[in-house]
Structure 1
């Protein structure tokens, strides 16, 4: 039993003992086994369209066309946010 934290109430202890006495039944598929390692290796998606430009612009172009969004360049926002992120990190390093 852990030394820290709140203790189980007598009702909780009784519930666990009853569960043990009944054969420790749990839902189908529940397991205490280690979860399998998932293949989370990076992949390079196919970009839609043949036109050049920033990859974000190419991915969002069909969405913008479908909903009538008028924009000249979405990649600008990526550059803007990247600059803001770098500036913030540099400011933190100076302190």
Structure 2
């Protein structure tokens, strides 16, 4: 049988024992500037995604409209069971 290993709980580290993070080392105004820049970049990326999605949607609608006017496409798409329309 395998012996159970005793679980060791780590001792609670005090605030002074923790290493300083970059957030702690930077001045608050620099940190706010970086946060604002990150938010601006996220908004710009979202705007690009929205513009790309709108462009793809417009291209899809234009292709659909072109196919609606194409007689060969309509003929291939239509059902050949004319008994329903008698």
Q: What is the TM-score of this pair, normalised by structure 2?
A: 0.29
Larger RCO, structure (CA 8 Å, separation 6 or more):
1
Which structure has the greater CA radius of gyration?
A: 2
Q: What is the TM-score of this pair, normalised by structure 1?
A: 0.27
Q: Decide which structure has greater helix share.
A: 2
